[in-house]
């Protein structure tokens, strides 16, 4: 009963959004004698909340020794389950009474990422894919305590679940201030716990260049050694990137690299001066807070395009992501549109698809190019009319460099003077901006210089990004979200997250 939350008032008004799907209701009726109607006053402490939860009366106890049966093909989900059991000191034995089974099935309604989790007299996880099974394991993890206990009672439940959007992302600006590879690893695991699946790395900007490019070693010798004032310098070696990619793949997180072009390029220019126009006198590294002052010299195509091509070809060797972000923000130049069109085609010629910030919509891009919307009011309609899809990141909801509350020290407020409190972040409707692959929150790092501050800006707000990307819009209710997330505090603690103590959560 520890994980049950009484939400009588909110649920009476809003309903708990736990409509059984046809398949789970048949599971329910086959055990009608032991099942209760879905009560309207309790939700399981799950974030993001599943599409369908059917509760039955009573509990089942998971033993301290379990028997695992796993389908071949559960190559990431089985290790994830084993990590979960190890964290709770639960051991494995073929003769144990408690059983957990992982099945691959063919149920089109579960899609690529959906799953079913049944707890009756055993635990049964099923999905079409290893990804779905991996997410079933994450749900099971939230149903269990975060720390070792003497016993593990679980609610009897049939959960059928699949995401609203394929893109459930977070952006980290590692360029203004670097985040070490160990932090990224921890972050990837934390994201996966909430079923987030895209980590966008902003790898270059005026203040720093963060990824080793073998053909241009000065990018990291010079550009990697600078940072915003008070921030951290550094860069990822190609070996570290490969290791991060492998780690992320095992957690169904795609690392999406961004090289910001043709503006935000002072670190590149300071490393290779010929990338700037000949009349540019400031060829130094930069550690200030201005934006929009640097650019590649677009009237020197013979210099810049081979460089762009070479950098991007090394990048696609490192990052298997289908999508490669070419930036495109905050720069004015008569040749801007032509540059973006050429850059997105360079990405296409490398066998990938480009993403550009919203400004890139002025270029003549193939409609499969994704556009990342960041100004709430930007007129993206013409691009939607041409068939583009969006990653939705409107700054007044998703910019986590803005305060958890108005006036939080070391936060920006240019987009929203009240900051972006949890309630505001949760109130975004990703579908309101037009055709979208999903949602992404962004943490710019001009003012975020340590791991602890990064944690404070990211959590608990990132849990709201997770629910916006996964749960149905009609099921979202802030009071319920807050009650569920509040109950997951021990899980965040176990992950070592130095979250902001959000008053709405009672923290």
- For the bound state, the minimum distance from the C-beta of residue 399 to ligand TNX, rounded and expressed in Å, comes to 6
Host H or E run for residue 493 = helix 489-494
Nearer to ligand TNX, 140 or 443 (CB): 443
Nearer to ligand TNX, 107 or 330 (CB): 330
- The encoded tokens of residue 289 equal 């807070």
- For the bound state, the minimum distance from the C-beta of residue 317 to ligand TNX, rounded and expressed in Å, comes to 26
Nearer to ligand TNX, 178 or 399 (CB): 399
Q: Which of 330, 440, 446, 502 is catalytic?
A: 330
Rounded distance between C-alpha atoms, residue 400 and residue 427, angstroms:
14
How many CB atoms sit inside 10 A of residue 91's CB?
12
Nearer to ligand TNX, 329 or 467 (CB): 329
Nearer to ligand TNX, 310 or 375 (CB): 375
What secondary structure does DSSP assign to 275-304, as a single string? GS-TT----S---SS--S--B--TT-HHHH
Contacts with ligand TNX by CB under 6 A lie at 291, 329-330, 357, 374, 399, 401, 412, 444, 446
Judge whether 117 and 124 are in contact, CB under 8 Å: yes
Phi, psi of 45 (to 5 degrees): -80, 75
- The encoded tokens of residue 360 equal 């890139």
Report how far apart the first and last C-alpha atoms of the chain are (Å, whole number): 21
- For the bound state, the minimum distance from the C-beta of residue 351 to ligand TNX, rounded and expressed in Å, comes to 26
Nearer to ligand TNX, 101 or 330 (CB): 330
Active site residue 330: yes
- For the bound state, the minimum distance from the C-beta of residue 374 to ligand TNX, rounded and expressed in Å, comes to 4
- For the bound state, the minimum distance from the C-beta of residue 20 to ligand TNX, rounded and expressed in Å, comes to 42
Geometric angle at alpha carbon 449, from 445 and 455, rounded to 5° = 80
Geometric angle at alpha carbon 381, from 376 and 386, rounded to 5° = 140
What secondary structure does DSSP assign to 146-168, as a single string? SS--S-EEEEEEEEEE--S-SEE
Interhelix angle for 238-249 vs 181-193, to 10°? 10
- For the bound state, the minimum distance from the C-beta of residue 358 to ligand TNX, rounded and expressed in Å, comes to 8
Nearer to ligand TNX, 209 or 357 (CB): 357
Contacts of 440 (CB under 8 A, 6+ apart): 167, 169, 170, 171, 198, 200, 372, 391, 392, 393, 398, 465
Rounded distance between C-alpha atoms, residue 392 and residue 176, angstroms:
23
Q: Return the DSSP state at 162.
A: -
- The encoded tokens of residue 52 equal 């369908």
Return the sign of the alpha-carbon dihedral for residues 438, 464, 77, 199: positive
- For the bound state, the minimum distance from the C-beta of residue 176 to ligand TNX, rounded and expressed in Å, comes to 7
Catalytic residues: 330
């Amino acid at each position: 009963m520890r994980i049950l939350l009484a939400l009588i008032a909110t649920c009476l008004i809003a309903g708990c959004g736990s409509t059984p799907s046809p398949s789970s209701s048949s599971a329910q009726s086959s055990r009608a004698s032991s099942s209760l109607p879905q009560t309207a006053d309790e939700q399981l402490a799950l974030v993001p909340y599943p599409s369908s939860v059917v509760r039955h009366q009573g509990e089942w106890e998971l033993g301290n020794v379990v028997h695992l049966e796993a389908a071949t093909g559960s190559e990431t989900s089985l290790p994830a389950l084993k990590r979960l059991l190890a964290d709770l000191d639960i051991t494995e034995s073929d003769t144990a009474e408690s059983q957990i089974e992982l099945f691959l099935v063919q149920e089109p309604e579960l899609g690529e990422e959906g799953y079913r989790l049944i707890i009756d007299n055993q635990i049964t996880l099923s999905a079409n894919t290893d990804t779905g099974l991996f997410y079933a394991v994450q749900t099971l993890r939230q149903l269990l305590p975060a720390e070792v206990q003497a016993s593990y009672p679980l609610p009897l439940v049939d959960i059928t679940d699949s995401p609203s959007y394929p893109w459930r992302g977070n952006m980290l600006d590692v360029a203004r201030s670097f985040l070490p590879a160990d932090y990224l690893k921890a972050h990837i695991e934390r994201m996966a716990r909430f079923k987030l699946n895209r980590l966008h790395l902003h790898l270059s900007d005026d203040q720093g260049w963060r990824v080793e490019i073998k053909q241009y070693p000065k990018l990291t010798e010079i550009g990697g050694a600078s940072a915003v004032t008070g921030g951290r310098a550094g860069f990822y070696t190609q070996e570290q990137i490969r290791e991060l990619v492998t780690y992320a793949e095992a957690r169904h997180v795609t690392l999406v690299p961004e090289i910001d072009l043709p503006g935000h390029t002072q670190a590149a220019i300071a490393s290779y001066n010929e990338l700037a126009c000949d009349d540019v006198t400031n060829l130094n590294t930069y550690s200030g807070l201005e934006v929009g002052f640097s650019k590649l010299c677009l009237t020197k195509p013979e210099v810049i395009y081979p460089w762009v091509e070479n950098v991007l070809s090394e990048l696609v060797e490192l990052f298997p992501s289908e999508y490669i972000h070419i930036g495109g923000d905050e720069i004015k130049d008569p040749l801007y549109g032509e540059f973006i069109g050429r850059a997105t085609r360079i990405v296409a010629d490398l066998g990938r698809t480009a993403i550009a910030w919203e400004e890139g919509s002025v270029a003549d891009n193939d409609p499969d190019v994704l556009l990342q919307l960041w100004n709430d009011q930007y007129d993206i309609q013409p691009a939607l009319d041409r068939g583009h899809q969006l990653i939705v990141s409107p700054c007044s909801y998703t910019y986590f460099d803005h305060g958890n509350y108005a006036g939080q020290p070391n936060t920006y407020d240019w987009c929203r003077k009240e900051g972006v409190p949890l309630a505001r972040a949760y109130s975004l409707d990703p579908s309101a901006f037009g055709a979208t692959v999903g949602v992404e929150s962004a943490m710019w790092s001009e003012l975020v210089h340590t791991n602890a501050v990064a944690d404070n800006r990211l959590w608990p707000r990132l849990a709201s990004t997770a629910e916006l990307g996964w749960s149905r819009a009609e099921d979202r209710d802030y009071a319920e979200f807050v009650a569920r997330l509040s109950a997951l505090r021990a899980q965040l603690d176990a992950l070592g997250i130095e979250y902001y103590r959000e008053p709405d959560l009672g923290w």
